[in-house]
Amino acid sequence: MEKNQRRTFLKYSLAASMATLTCGACGSGDQSEEETVKVLTTDGQLVEVPKSNVKSAPCHGVSPSESRKGIPGKKFVMVVDLSRCRNARKCIESCEKYHEIPPDRPFIKVLKMQDNNESSPYWMPKKCFQCDNPPCVKVCPVGATYKRSDGIVLIDNIRCIGCRFCMSACPYSARVFNWGQPPEKDPECAYSPETSIPTKVGTVEKCDFCPDMLRQDKLPHCITACPNGAIYFGDKVADVISNGSEVLRFRETLKVKAGYRYLEELGTEPNVYYLPPVNRLFPFDETPQEGGI
Amino acid sequence: MIAYFRIFTLVIFIGMLIPVHYNAQDKLRPRLSFSYLKDGNAERYLKVKAIARIDRKSTPITRVPLKFYFIEISEENFLGTAETDMDGVAQLLLPDKFYDLSKGKTEFKFITVLEDQDNYRDVDSDITVYESALELDLTEEDGEKIVKARLFRIDSSSAKTPVEDAEVKILVARPFGPLPISEAGEVTDENGALSTVFPDDLPGDETGKVNIIASLEDSDEFGSVRTNQDIIWGLEAEFDDKTLKRSLWAAGANAPLGLLFFVNSLIIATWGIIFYIIYQIFLISKHK
Amino acid sequence: MRSYQPDFYFLSKPMEKIESDLLQHIPHWRKRDKVWVAFLTVVIFIGIYAYYRQLRYGLVVTAMRDFTSWGIYISNFVFFVAISLVGSLVSSILRLSKAKWSIILSRISEIIALASIICASIIIIVDMGRPDRFLNVFIYGRIQSPIIWDVIIIATYFVISYLLLYISLIPDLALCRDKLHNVPKWQKAMYRILAVNWKGNAQQYKIIHRVTAILSLSVIPVAFAIHTVTSWLFSTTWRPGWDSTNLGPYFVSGALMAGAAVLIVGMYFIRNSLDLKEYISEKLFDNMGKLLVLLSLVYLYFNINEYLGPSFKMVGVEGEHITELFYGSYAWLYWLVQIFGLILPIVVLVFAKMRKPFPLLIVSVLVIIGAWLKRFLIVIPSLQHPYLPIQDVDDSYRHYYPTWEEWAITFASFAGVLLIITLLIRLIPVIPIWELKEEKEQKNIES
């Protein structure tokens, strides 16, 4: 009876995120026949269980055909406050974790930028700009990458033929390619272009604005991961952006802080805006900085 | 309303760190942060976030049942059980039983218990809050849209006493969290009131409807108290679905007409010639 | 008899002799032919093994990475598309400009064109990350994408190239059917089927003349389109070095020049190995040499156009790209290509002595190598100068040195072109005999 009950608990509690977190601590000594994972139980023990026992986390990404439609009535925008970024790289880490991407091809980069020799360098977090005149979507021969009504550009890696024309076309180098075979794992959820999981060899990937989170009215992972609240995300239709703690009006913020879009002259009409790196919270420092304010 | 609750991520953090005895096998110390939330228009909730520290990282304890009691831990004061979700948050909508138990009372003590699980001793946490009323008045004066919020304490005789110096906020519901429209740090006056002007350029839904919220957060006395009201004060939302138009980046079916015409006429012309030539080859073969 | 031009002296021979000269190689596989085919087959199999590795492990076996996302597969593709233009150059442009000597070269150039367009199509599939989804191009094709335009135009050009070769081959296939008796059965059957009941009557000749005229007219726009569309694969993207309105004519002129050089090399080896010194005369080499100078001058003109503007303005990343080519890590390659592949042919081939077969062969080989490397220089350095700086990446992402798999596949594609050419010239007369016959008859009437 006791044992039985515990089993039920296990089934419930062995959630995906937990498994990865705890497994980071457990080392890799065991090589049993069946693949196992270490998980945290309800009674606080680290136990090792067959992978087949692990119940999956709820899936929010929708099917490839459904993912072409977009979330109705929304137009998503991102605003990056360059005065707040100190290259803490938490956005990159959280993105890697939730999209299960290896560190060698991140969706987000924090670039060291210097406009000219006299001006001070600054850090510029860069994701996909989800352009309204998207070069990548224009050139795709098979419609594997597409623009949705909510402004998000996604990739269907079941349709992608791996021609990499979109990578050549993108002036922001936002796209990465699965050059090799991704590590094999049993996917928790069915493939959805909204999560970009699981990855497939020979296809293109990029930052997707986490539509699976947006469907739950939650912010993308990189936004909430930033210790300095440097990245705001929101809905242009509702004229609002949030960095997880602070909620601002989108247009007013751009107006007051002289927001701009990177390489406006290319005519790609990005949906990612930048606030100039003035009155910075931190002095520029080359070494990666832990933590926030 | 529960969906609405999720939008509202502001949680009172009056959690207590419960010292737990643990033996050598115990590696985790659960921590419960307990909060009370009253939604003036609807219901009351109890919310607990359960976390443990693993490798110096706060890790949510997922899928554990938490029990909730009113005043004291006993069978007759048991309010219900809620399980923590993926973020370690358990939420209990206070049942009718609470309203029966609290009849005539304006001071509420709640207790939550994470029950013995082999290696934990009981972990519990409690909070005490007072009954309150938060009222929202929406009026238009001289073309200005005024939002007024008033906070009262309710005593056992149901009398309302205005609460002064409370940090009540006025917000408008938005995706990813409500947008404050009152000044930050503003407090209620001697009438328990606080007011602000609704901005005339804020979009609502397609009809211009907005949801205005008054909220008291993180209050020792009352917990979180909130009320909200819909009104057609916003601009009509403008949504332009460009994906339906013909463009170079649209789906293949929405290709620009000029391009379709150009490419197809070239294809027809060229392949017309090709098929003509193939037909001529056929004619050659038919000659005797 | 004296009325024959220097390039047509051989027409003074009796027609039977001409026929036997031009058919004599077909039934006889010499040892060196077999060794050559075996060598090409081995090279192709090494390439197939490399491709097997690529299929198994993914494109990670190549040196391409996220910034240099296109490599020598693409530059090689552009090269093959370029040399496929030679078919239209000779069979159409020269024919329409009434250069009679082009009759002698038309079939060789058509064979080269067909072989290279086939290998261009194969190499573009090799470049795909998911060749298993090739059919998606037809199922989900978006007409807005320049790749789809390229697929359409390559398919069209392939068919036209094939027809161009085949139509003018029908009377010669009939000749093979009637004259060649000591060939294997399947070969006889092939001649019989492909000769589509050719009797050589007036009506049939009438059809073939009409069809050839239509084809040689319609192949010009298609040939220009195929390489212009290929240039649009680059100029429709937001990349320095590709963002040019000049790219179409620049590609087409470079293609015609490279194609002419390939034809010269083909002429040289076919002439020697098939013992056709009288037919492919020194006069033809002289003509081709002059043509190569002309085409090089045109290409030089578009080269200057392509680089002057950007190098004068030196705008942002465009300027970085130009600096990289002119003075940076690609400078040695860039100047080598421009000097040996473009300036040298112009200077050297002005002299009649250098238009003799052997010196012309050497210059043409230089032009071909230059043309191949030029396409490398068009594709790769542009990708390495994106608008945003390349940071936080493994060192392998910053440069591009093709791996052995890429070289093996590239060499296999060359071997493929050579194999197709070899097999075709082993099966068919390399000079259109019926056209020589017509030419001879016309001369007889005139005299």
Give the pair of three-digit tokens for residue C303: 């080269």
Cβ <8 Å between A143 and B206? no
CB of B64 less than 8 A from some CB of A:
yes
CB of A17 less than 8 A from some CB of B:
yes
Q: Smallest CA–CA separation between C320 and chain A, in Å?
A: 15
Count CB atoms within 10 A of the CB of residue C79. Answer: 29
Q: Does residue A74 carry a pLDDT above 50?
A: yes
Could you report the per-residue pLDDT of C158-187, keeping only the tens digit for each? Answer: 999 999 999 999 999 999 999 998 899 999
- Residues of chain A positioned with their CB less than 8 A from the CB of C70: 164, 168
Cβ <8 Å between A141 and C59? no
Q: CB–CB of C345/C258 below 8 Å?
A: no
A180-189, C97-106, C335-344, C433-442: the lowest-pLDDT one: A180-189
Which residue, C370, C367, C403, C408, is CA-closest to C71?
Answer: C403
Which range has highest mean pLDDT (B69-73, C155-159, C439-443)? C155-159
**Closest residue on chain A to C140 (Cα):** A142
Give the pair of three-digit tokens for residue C114: 């067909």
Average model confidence (pLDDT) across chain C:
93
| Residue A181 CA: distances (Å) to CA of A97, A130, C59 | 18, 27, 9
Give B67's strand partners: B81, B113
Confidence of residue B23 (pLDDT cuts 50, 70, 90): very low
Average pLDDT over residues B224-241: 91
A63-77, B114-128, C408-422: the lowest-pLDDT one: B114-128
Q: Which of A21, A58, A240 sits opposite B175 (nearest CB)?
A: A240
Q: What's the pLDDT at A56?
A: 45
What percentage of chain B's residues is helix, strand, coil (to nearest 5)?
A: 15, 40, 40
- E-strand ranges in C45-151 read none
Confidence of residue A219 (pLDDT cuts 50, 70, 90): very high
Could you report the per-residue pLDDT of B239-277, keeping only the tens digit for each? Answer: 888 888 999 999 999 999 999 999 999 999 999 999 999
Distance CA C6, CA C21 (A): 19
Q: CB–CB of A148/B243 below 8 Å?
A: yes
Which residue, A206, A208, A207, A190, is CA-closest to A198?
Answer: A190
Q: Which residues of A, range 211-240, sit inside 8 Å of B by Cβ?
A: 216-219, 233-235, 237-240
Distance CA B197, CA B193 (A): 14
Is it true that the peptide bond before A198 is cis, omega within 30 degrees of 0? yes
**Closest residue on chain C to A166 (Cα):** C237
Distance CA B128, CA B69 (A): 12
What percentage of chain C's residues is helix, strand, coil (to nearest 5)?
A: 75, 0, 25
Could you report the per-residue pLDDT of C213-241, keeping only the tens digit for each? Answer: 999 898 999 999 999 999 999 999 988 88
Give B132's strand partners: B153
Cβ <8 Å between A249 and B243? no
CB of A137 less than 8 A from some CB of B:
yes
| Residue C75 CA: distances (Å) to CA of A202, C33, C256, C304, C372 | 20, 30, 16, 21, 7
Distance CA A122, CA A82 (A): 7
Q: Does residue C206 carry a pLDDT above 60?
A: yes
Give the pair of three-digit tokens for residue C136: 């998606």
Cα end-to-end span (Å), chain A: 51
CB of B185 less than 8 A from some CB of C:
no
CB of A143 less than 8 A from some CB of C:
yes
- Residues of chain C positioned with their CB less than 8 A from the CB of A159: 133, 136, 140
Residue that is written with structure tokens 């970024």 in the block: A85
Distance CA C35, CA C33 (A): 5
Average model confidence (pLDDT) across chain A:
82
Q: Does residue A13 carry a pLDDT above 50?
A: no
CB of B284 less than 8 A from some CB of C:
yes
Confidence of residue A211 (pLDDT cuts 50, 70, 90): very high
CB of B243 less than 8 A from some CB of C:
no
Phi, psi of A279, rounded to the nearest 5 degrees: 50, 60
Distance CA C7, CA C91 (A): 17
Cβ <8 Å between C147 and A126? no
Cβ <8 Å between B179 and A17? no
Could you report the per-residue pLDDT of C235-260, keeping only the tens digit for each? Answer: 999 888 898 889 999 999 999 999 99
**Closest residue on chain B to A139 (Cα):** B249
CB of B59 less than 8 A from some CB of A:
yes
Residue that is written with structure tokens 């072409």 in the block: A68
Strands B179-180 and B168-172, how do they pair?
Answer: antiparallel
Cβ <8 Å between B175 and A12? no
Strands B89-93 and B44-54, how do they pair?
Answer: antiparallel
C197: Cβ–Cβ under 8 A, 6 or more apart, which residues?
Answer: B284, B285, B286, B287
Mutate to test the interface with C, among A129, A142, A172, A268 (most CBs of C within 10 A): A142
**Closest residue on chain C to A267 (Cα):** C238
Q: Does residue C10 carry a pLDDT above 80?
A: yes
Helices (H) and strands (E) in chain B, counts: 3, 16
Distance CA C4, CA B22 (A): 111
**Closest residue on chain B to C199 (Cα):** B288
Q: Smallest CA–CA separation between B211 and chain A, in Å?
A: 12
Q: Does residue A48 carry a pLDDT above 70?
A: no
Cβ <8 Å between B54 and A233? no
B39: Cβ–Cβ under 8 A, 6 or more apart, which residues?
Answer: B1, B4, B5, B45, B226, B227, B228
Q: Smallest CA–CA separation between B248 and chain A, in Å?
A: 5
Would you state the torsion angle of the CA atoms of residues A125, A126, A128, A132, taken in this order, to the nearest 10 degrees? 100
Please name the helix (run of DSSP H) or strand (run of DSSP E) that holds residue C112, with its range, or none.
helix C102-126
Cβ <8 Å between B281 and C170? yes
Average pLDDT over residues B149-173: 90
Q: Smallest CA–CA separation between B198 and chain A, in Å?
A: 13
Which residue, C149, C338, C306, is CA-closest to C240?
Answer: C306
CB of B253 less than 8 A from some CB of C:
no
Q: What's the pLDDT at A68?
A: 93
- Residues of chain A positioned with their CB less than 8 A from the CB of C128: 161-163, 202
Confidence of residue C9 (pLDDT cuts 50, 70, 90): confident
Give the pair of three-digit tokens for residue B16: 């207590």
Q: CB–CB of A164/C70 below 8 Å?
A: yes
Q: What is the DSSP string of chain A?
A: -HHHHHHHHHHHH--HHHHHHHHHHH-S----SS-EEEEE-TTS-EEEEEGGGPPPPPP-PPPTTGGGT--TT--EEEEEETTS-----HHHHHHHHHHT--TTS-S-EEEEE-SSSSSPPEEEEE-----SS-HHHHH-SSS-EEE-TTS-EEE-TTT-----HHHHH-TT---EE--SPPPP---SS--BTTTTBS--TT-EE-----HHHHTTT---HHHHH-TT--EEEEETTTTEEE-SS-EEEHHHHHHHTT-B-TTGGG----SEEEE-S-S-SS---SS---S--
In degrees, rounded to 5, the angle at the alpha carbon of residue B121 between the alpha carbons of residues B116 and B127 is 90
Comparing B13 with A42, which gets the higher pLDDT?
A: A42
Could you report the per-residue pLDDT of C50-89, keeping only the tens digit for each? Answer: 999 999 999 999 999 999 999 999 999 999 999 999 888 8
Between chain A and chain C, the number of residue pairs with CB atoms below 8 A apart is 137
Please report, as a single letter, which amino acid is at residue C173.
L
Cα end-to-end span (Å), chain C: 8
Q: Does residue C442 carry a pLDDT above 60?
A: yes
Q: What is the ipTM of this complex?
A: 0.91
Q: CB–CB of C69/A164 below 8 Å?
A: yes
In degrees, rounded to 5, the angle at the alpha carbon of residue A145 between the alpha carbons of residues A139 and A150 is 115
Q: What's the pLDDT at A21?
A: 36
CB of A93 less than 8 A from some CB of B:
no
Q: What's the pLDDT at A3?
A: 41
Between chain A and chain B, the number of residue pairs with CB atoms below 8 A apart is 119
Please name the helix (run of DSSP H) or strand (run of DSSP E) that holds residue C317, with its range, or none.
helix C316-326
Q: CB–CB of C344/C360 below 8 Å?
A: no
What is the pTM assigned to this prediction? 0.86
- Which of helix, strand or coil describes residue C124? helix
Distance CA B128, CA B137 (A): 28
Chains that touch C (3 or more CB pairs under 8 A): A, B
Q: Smallest CA–CA separation between B14 and chain A, in Å?
A: 19
Q: Which residues of A, range 85-104, sit inside 8 Å of C by Cβ?
A: 104
Helices assigned H by DSSP within C127-201: 136-139, 146-167, 170-179, 185-194
Could you report the per-residue pLDDT of C30-55, keeping only the tens digit for each? Answer: 999 999 999 999 999 999 999 999 99
Count CB atoms within 10 A of the CB of residue C350. Answer: 12
Residue that is written with structure tokens 């939008």 in the block: B7
Q: Smallest CA–CA separation between B29 and chain C, in Å?
A: 39
Q: CB–CB of B160/B133 below 8 Å?
A: yes
Count CB atoms within 10 A of the CB of residue C61. Answer: 20
Count CB atoms within 10 A of the CB of residue C132. Answer: 12
Helices assigned H by DSSP within B113-183: none
Distance CA B189, CA B164 (A): 5
Could you report the per-residue pLDDT of B205-222, keeping only the tens digit for each? Answer: 999 999 999 999 878 889
- Which of helix, strand or coil describes residue B202? coil
A121-135, A194-208, B114-128, C349-363: the lowest-pLDDT one: B114-128
Which residue, A66, A70, A74, A22, is CA-closest to A48?
Answer: A22
Longest dimension (CA), chain A: 74
Longest dimension (CA), chain B: 117
- Residues of chain B positioned with their CB less than 8 A from the CB of A143: 251-252
Q: Does residue A15 carry a pLDDT above 50?
A: no
Counting residues of chain C whose pLDDT is more than 90, the rounded percentage is 81
Distance CA A83, CA A86 (A): 8
Which residue, A293, A290, A291, A288, is CA-closest to A112?
Answer: A288
Cβ <8 Å between B54 and A21? yes
B116-120, C11-15, C267-271, C339-343: the lowest-pLDDT one: B116-120
